A and B are shown apart, each in its own frame.
Chain A
Amino acid sequence: MELEKKHIQQATQEEIRPPVTIMGPMGWIRANLFSSWFNGLLTVLIIFLLWKTLPPFFKWAFVESLWRSDGTACRDAGGACWSVVSQNFRFMIFGFYPHDQQWRPLLSMAILVALLFYSRNRNHWKKLLVYAWLTGLLLMGVLMKGGILGLVDVESTQWGGLPLTLLLAVFGLTAAYPLGVLLALGRQSRLPAIRTLCIVYIELIRGVPLISLLFMSSVVFPLFLPEGVSINKILRAQVAIILFTAAYIAEVVRGGLQGIPKGQLEATETLGLSYYHTMRLVILPQALKIVIPPSVSILISAFKDTSLVVIIALFDLLKTTQSVLSDPQWMGFSTEAYIFVALVYFLCCFFMSNYSRRLERELNVERA
């Protein structure tokens, strides 16, 4: 007893330091990598697998790789042939757009990136931003198409590559959003006929794959039009994407509408607001704010889904890559080319999903 007391006294006089096995890097490794025999086994196994795969991959991708050569030199080298990307870069990005006019799609993409960057900050979310977006989209369309302001007219059959992918995604979402909101309101409506129409539309579209709509756009839409009228292929695919995305947006917006307390609706009824004013001034501003993060997710999936237009032979980023790969000189280097395209898609989606997560956090904090 006495001894114990003395011991404690002594200990409190000196500064007690935790054992090395708990503090510092050693402690971290112990806690996070070897906390039990099973975890230790997993760690060893993973390190072994990484050691087996990562160095050969680095050797293939960076050490023995060729960056600026022709196809024949690539066949002799053992490593990756990044030349397939670097030598065909302009074609992969811009497709068949006239060579001397390619600054126009580049400028359009720059406008888009600038708009996206400007919209990141929530202090900029004002009415002005909506006008900025509308002007920007119009400007992008004009830049791509040309025909006025002294710009050479470029047929939409020549559009391709990354600008086409971005256009399909951004225009698709912009046009689908109002339609989706209307559908969501229709689904919540008290009028049975309108509600049924909206439900049938939403469930029908959500039940079928996008590819069937794209097939429809390429083979059935032309039959719908009166004789002599024809719409170009890109616009038809765009319509299919809009019709498809709208159904998904409608479901997301419905989630937002259901999240608004009933009291809000009752309050507007007491104030005697009409349906239009109730929605426009009270319900939608709140509902749409809730659904911003899931809307970004829809933008991401719309962006990824535009790659499906390959199947109806539009020259988006994936199709231009494939046509490079069908060139005999570059045949057999699909892995490298696809890794490049995957990287482009990954970077875009990664930034968007990170942004959506950050936004969700911020909005949650605000509401709490």
Chain B
Amino acid sequence: MVDTKDSLPESKTSFWYDPAKRSILYQVVSLLFVGLLGYYLLSNTRHNLERQSIATGFGFLQKEASFEIGESLVAYSAADTYARALWVGILNTVLISGIGIVLAVTLGILIGIARLSNNWLVSRLSSVYIEVFQDIPVLLQLFFWYAFCYEMLPSPRQAIHPMTGIFLSNRGLVFAVPATHPAHRYMCAAFSCALIAVFFLRRWSRKRQERTGRTFPMLGTSLGILLFFPIGAWWLAGAPTAMSMPVLKGFNFEGGLTISPEFSALLMGLVLYTAAFVAEIVRAGIQSVNRGQTEAAMALGLKSGRVLSLVILPQALRVIVPPLTSQMLNLTKNSSLAVAIGYPDFVSVAGTTINQTGQAIEGVAMIMAVYLCFSLLTSAFMNWYNKKIALVER
């Protein structure tokens, strides 16, 4: 096999029938083709841009944006630069995808398990849910929830007021939050310390169990640590109790924290849509675990909760994680539909920027680059996780 080429006399193989040469030719031709196509498109573009006298480059990022953004995690005003506006958009995208992924996975796992329940009603209802929400375009669901928030809920003056400090109206959900105080920063720091402490405690307890067989009440202790640290920090910092209460002023509320209808509709649409797909993945994953595993675990005398957490889930996760990753990425990508209902995510801000500056190529390139980064980061993380839980074969 290897020597066929060498055993043939060189002169007899013509250029066309030498596989090595031919493959080089193919590659050169295809590269040339792609290169020429790119050159043709680029030269057209340059010509068109010159004709319309649009300057290329990212210089516009330093100009004043002069448009407002409804919601922002960082301080922003219309006087800030485009770069700042786009940063606000990126943060909003990260916020909605982060919360969305956590909620969608949680809901999806619940529904996926419910789908396999031996309660007929529960499993029927979850399969109806999965079928319905998978088969309706996510954009339509977003429109539906947005219209629902906007049309069904009353105006701020007639806001639904179930208890002190909570108002629900078509301007969103407004609720009281503790007024800003330095104590909150200490509480955050204390919570991070508590997380680290729990991590090490867990490692220690697992090592001890492997060595001596003695178990350690992990759940209670870690909950205690997680609660005690922040509360202690709060108490040490002077136990501030002042609240920022929402008050109706003119046509809208002031104070408190507002969850806008755009944000809620986007979150609801994305979570409900993605959860249906996650549920199918979880169901398939659990079903892929051989029934004998459950029976063996039960024969060993494990409780049904432990059967699930120690035997079924670790094996099911191997099947679940790869498609779950792609669903997480889908949710992140679908969050770009925010532009349709007016939530200022990255695509929406970039769209406004394109309209105002006419820098279409730079704008679209930035959108693509940002989402590619998200995709690569998420898949890198999930690949690492997948490797961690992969089956270690002998």
State whether the Cβ of B194 lies closer than 8 Å to any Cβ in chain A: no
State whether the Cβ of B163 lies closer than 8 Å to any Cβ in chain A: no
Q: Are B364 and A219 in contact (CB under 8 A)?
A: yes
Q: Which of A33, A227, A335 contacts B48 (CB 8 A)?
A: A227
Chain A residue with the shortest CB-CB distance to B340: A311
Assess A342 versus B27: contact at CB under 8 Å? Given A32-B119, A207-B376. Answer: no
In the assembled complex, the CB of B95 is this many whole angstroms from the nearest CB of chain A, namely 17
Q: In whole angstroms, how far apart are the Cα atoms of A305 and B139 in the complex?
A: 9
**Residues on A with beta carbons closer than 8 Å to the beta carbon of B120:** 32-33
Of the stretches A41-49, A61-69, A71-79, the one at the interface is A41-49
Q: Are B347 and A209 in contact (CB under 8 A)?
A: yes
Q: In whole angstroms, how far apart are the Cα atoms of A62 and B198 in the complex?
A: 56
Contact digits for B93-135, partner A, Cβ 8 Å, 1 yes 0 no: 0000000000000000000000001111110010000011011
State whether the Cβ of B41 lies closer than 8 Å to any Cβ in chain A: yes
Q: Which of A33, A193, A308 contacts B121 (CB 8 A)?
A: A33
Q: Are B27 and A191 in contact (CB under 8 A)?
A: yes
Q: Which of A33, A220, A325, A346 contacts B132 (CB 8 A)?
A: A346
Interface residues of A in 181-219 (CB under 8 A from B): 190-194, 197, 204, 206-212, 215-216, 219
Q: In whole angstroms, how far apart are the Cα atoms of A339 and B141 in the complex?
A: 10
Q: Are A220 and B364 in contact (CB under 8 A)?
A: yes
Q: Are B131 and A350 in contact (CB under 8 A)?
A: yes
State whether the Cβ of A285 lies closer than 8 Å to any Cβ in chain B: no
In the assembled complex, the CB of A309 is this many whole angstroms from the nearest CB of chain B, namely 10
Most interface-central of B135, B334, B363, B367 (chain A CB within 10 A)? B135
State whether the Cβ of A39 lies closer than 8 Å to any Cβ in chain B: yes
Assess A207 versus B375: contact at CB under 8 Å? Given A191-B26, A191-B27, A224-B44. Answer: yes
State whether the Cβ of A171 lies closer than 8 Å to any Cβ in chain B: no
Interface residues of B in 22-48 (CB under 8 A from A): 23, 26-28, 30-31, 34, 41, 44-45, 47-48
In the assembled complex, the CB of B42 is this many whole angstroms from the nearest CB of chain A, namely 9
**Residues on B with beta carbons closer than 8 Å to the beta carbon of A345:** 135-137, 140
Q: Are B144 and A338 in contact (CB under 8 A)?
A: yes
**Residues on A with beta carbons closer than 8 Å to the beta carbon of B137:** 304-305, 307, 318, 345
**Residues on B with beta carbons closer than 8 Å to the beta carbon of A307:** 137, 139-140
**Residues on A with beta carbons closer than 8 Å to the beta carbon of B49:** 223
In the assembled complex, the CB of A132 is this many whole angstroms from the nearest CB of chain B, namely 27
In the assembled complex, the CB of A35 is this many whole angstroms from the nearest CB of chain B, namely 6
Contact count band on B: 35 or more
Q: Are B148 and A335 in contact (CB under 8 A)?
A: yes
State whether the Cβ of B143 lies closer than 8 Å to any Cβ in chain A: yes
In the assembled complex, the CB of B75 is this many whole angstroms from the nearest CB of chain A, namely 28
Q: Are B45 and A224 in contact (CB under 8 A)?
A: yes
Q: Are B336 and A212 in contact (CB under 8 A)?
A: yes
Q: In whole angstroms, how far apart are the Cα atoms of A353 and B334 in the complex?
A: 21
Q: Are B119 and A193 in contact (CB under 8 A)?
A: no
Interface residues of A in 314-350 (CB under 8 A from B): 318, 322, 325, 332, 334-335, 338-339, 341-342, 345-346, 349-350
Q: Which of B135, B138, B144 contacts A349 (CB 8 A)?
A: B135
Assess A39 versus B118: contact at CB under 8 Å? Given A194-B30, A223-B44, A307-B137. Answer: yes
State whether the Cβ of A310 lies closer than 8 Å to any Cβ in chain B: yes
Q: Are A342 and B140 in contact (CB under 8 A)?
A: yes
State whether the Cβ of B51 lies closer than 8 Å to any Cβ in chain A: yes
Q: Are A342 and B144 in contact (CB under 8 A)?
A: yes
Q: Which of A35, A220, A338 contacts B140 (CB 8 A)?
A: A338
Interface residues of A in 57-113 (CB under 8 A from B): none
Q: In whole angstroms, how far apart are the Cα atoms of A140 and B41 in the complex?
A: 32
**Residues on A with beta carbons closer than 8 Å to the beta carbon of B45:** 223-224
Chain A residue with the shortest CB-CB distance to B150: A334
Q: In whole angstroms, how far apart are the Cα atoms of A208 and B125 in the complex?
A: 34
Chain A residue with the shortest CB-CB distance to B51: A227
Q: Are B333 and A322 in contact (CB under 8 A)?
A: no
Most interface-central of A42, A208, A224, A311 (chain B CB within 10 A)? A208
Contact digits for B269-313, partner A, Cβ 8 Å, 1 yes 0 no: 000000000000000000000000000000000000000000000
State whether the Cβ of A226 lies closer than 8 Å to any Cβ in chain B: yes
State whether the Cβ of B354 lies closer than 8 Å to any Cβ in chain A: yes
Chain B residue with the shortest CB-CB distance to A353: B135
**Residues on B with beta carbons closer than 8 Å to the beta carbon of A16:** none
Q: In whole angstroms, how far apart are the Cα atoms of A33 and B375 in the complex?
A: 43
Q: In whole angstroms, how far apart are the Cα atoms of A220 and B368 in the complex?
A: 13
Q: In whole angstroms, how far apart are the Cα atoms of A216 and B354 in the complex?
A: 11
Chain B residue with the shortest CB-CB distance to A192: B27
State whether the Cβ of B339 lies closer than 8 Å to any Cβ in chain A: yes
**Residues on A with beta carbons closer than 8 Å to the beta carbon of B201:** none
Q: Are B44 and A225 in contact (CB under 8 A)?
A: yes
Assess A220 versus B147: contact at CB under 8 Å? Given A33-B120, A39-B119. Answer: no
Q: Are A193 and B31 in contact (CB under 8 A)?
A: yes
Assess A215 versus B367: contact at CB under 8 Å? Given A220-B360, A342-B136. Answer: yes
Chain A residue with the shortest CB-CB distance to B144: A338
State whether the Cβ of B372 lies closer than 8 Å to any Cβ in chain A: yes
Q: Are B23 and A211 in contact (CB under 8 A)?
A: no
Q: Are A334 and B337 in contact (CB under 8 A)?
A: no
Q: Are A224 and B41 in contact (CB under 8 A)?
A: yes
**Residues on B with beta carbons closer than 8 Å to the beta carbon of A47:** 121
Q: Which of B119, B339, B363 contacts A211 (CB 8 A)?
A: B339
Q: Which of B23, B30, B143, B367 contacts A208 (CB 8 A)?
A: B367
Q: Are A211 and B347 in contact (CB under 8 A)?
A: yes
In the assembled complex, the CB of A259 is this many whole angstroms from the nearest CB of chain B, namely 16
Q: In whole angstroms, how far apart are the Cα atoms of A219 and B353 in the complex?
A: 13
**Residues on B with beta carbons closer than 8 Å to the beta carbon of A311:** 337, 339-340
Chain A residue with the shortest CB-CB distance to B146: A334
**Residues on A with beta carbons closer than 8 Å to the beta carbon of B138:** 304
**Residues on A with beta carbons closer than 8 Å to the beta carbon of B147:** 325, 334-335, 338
In the complex, 18 of the A-B residue pairs with CB atoms within 8 angstroms, ordered by the A residue number, are A39-B122, A46-B125, A191-B26, A193-B27, A197-B34, A204-B368, A208-B367, A212-B336, A212-B347, A212-B368, A223-B44, A223-B48, A223-B360, A304-B137, A307-B140, A318-B139, A338-B143, A342-B144
- B binding-site residues for A, Cβ under 8 Å: 23, 26-28, 30-31, 34, 41, 44-45, 47-49, 51, 117-122, 125, 131-132, 134-141, 143-144, 147-148, 151-152, 329, 333-334, 336-337, 339-340, 347, 351, 354, 360-361, 363-364, 367-368, 371-372, 375-376
13 A-B pairs besides A305-B137, A308-B139 with CB distance below 8 A are A194-B26, A207-B371, A207-B372, A208-B372, A212-B336, A220-B360, A223-B361, A226-B44, A307-B137, A307-B139, A335-B152, A342-B144, A346-B136
